Amino acid sequence: MNKDNKDENEGQVVLIVLGPPGAGKGTQCKMLAGVLRVPHISTGDILRDNICRDTRLGRGVKKIMEDGRLVPDDHVMNMLIERIEEGDCAGGFVLDGFPRTPEQAALLDLCLSEQEDKKQSSRQLVVRLVVSQHCLLKRLAGRQICPVCQTVYGIHQHQPRTPGKCDADGCSLIARQDDREKTIAERLRNFEEQISPIIAHYAKHGCVLEIDGDRSAHEVTSGILRAIPEDWRAAVS
């Protein structure tokens, strides 16, 4: 596929990156979106942006997110459909933080098949980042975020050039509200509960890649690119 001329006739590439909080999904998704030249869609970022802008959706989900619970499927689904219907998603997109439940996975399939009815075919590929508990807790404890552009920094990976300041806009970095110990435990529990049925959903289509996420971001990226099957390789080479 010619990446520079991706258009609707070539169909959509939909790359889904799954992993627990702290697995490095955001970092990997940004990189993969850059390689594939498609947008990176993070449902968590869209929700946080709504909270920052104090929208109706933002006000409705603020407490849920602070507690580390999952936002109801209908809210997330409406928000996602609105985003993937934008023109820049015609060639595909990389999904970060979605699906979080098997119901969301089924709703996404439905939404993509409706697009296929409109002669837009899509190919889904799922990357599952497998990370040890020890590594996750270490990463989450040191994580900071820019409140303006949402860039995430860590104490072990992707450190800011000036400690405490965002490289992109110089804003003071803050800890994420939901990166506190109690909330982290709730988010990890949610993930563990939902991941098996989600993987079972995609395994039926034989499109799941399991990647060791305990390594450096760079090594994980190389691992994902090496694992991408032939028909996808053309799109990323």
Active site residues: 25, 100, 143, 176, 187
Q: Which residue, among 191, 111, 184, 171, has the nearest Cα to 141 in the 3D structure?
A: 184
Stretch of 32-40, 66-74, 131-139, 198-206 lying at the interface with ligand AMP (CB under 6 A): 66-74
68 contacts ligand AMP (rule: CB under 6 A): yes
In whole angstroms, how close is the CB of 178 to ligand AMP at the nearest point?
6
Residues 231, 236, 237: CA angle, nearest 5 degrees: 95
Distance CA 14, CA 161 (A): 33
126 contacts ligand AMP (rule: CB under 6 A): no
Nearer to ligand AMP among residue 68 and residue 223 (C-beta): 68
Q: For residues 11 and 122, is the Cβ–Cβ distance under 8 A?
A: yes
Residue 194 C-alpha from the chain's centroid: 15
Nearer to ligand AMP among residue 148 and residue 234 (C-beta): 148
128 contacts ligand AMP (rule: CB under 6 A): no
21 contacts ligand AMP (rule: CB under 6 A): yes
Q: Which residue, among 113, 115, 57, has the nearest Cα to 86 in the 3D structure?
A: 115
Residue owning tokens 């970095």: 173
Site for ligand AMP in 178-197 (CB under 6 A): 178, 187
Stretch of 6-14, 33-41, 92-100, 164-172 lying at the interface with ligand AMP (CB under 6 A): 92-100
Using CB under 6 A as the binding criterion, the count of chain residues that bind ligand AMP stands at 17
Taking phi over 0 as left and psi of -120 to 50 as alpha, with beta for the rest, 22 belongs to left
29 contacts ligand AMP (rule: CB under 6 A): no
Distance CA 202, CA 199 (A): 5
Stretch of 65-73, 120-128, 139-147, 191-199 lying at the interface with ligand AMP (CB under 6 A): 65-73
DSSP 172: B
Distance CA 63, CA 76 (A): 15
198 contacts ligand AMP (rule: CB under 6 A): no
70 contacts ligand AMP (rule: CB under 6 A): yes
Distance CA 102, CA 99 (A): 7
Q: Catalog residues that contact ligand AMP under the rule CB under 6 A.
A: 21, 43-44, 47, 64-65, 68-71, 76, 97-98, 100, 104, 178, 187
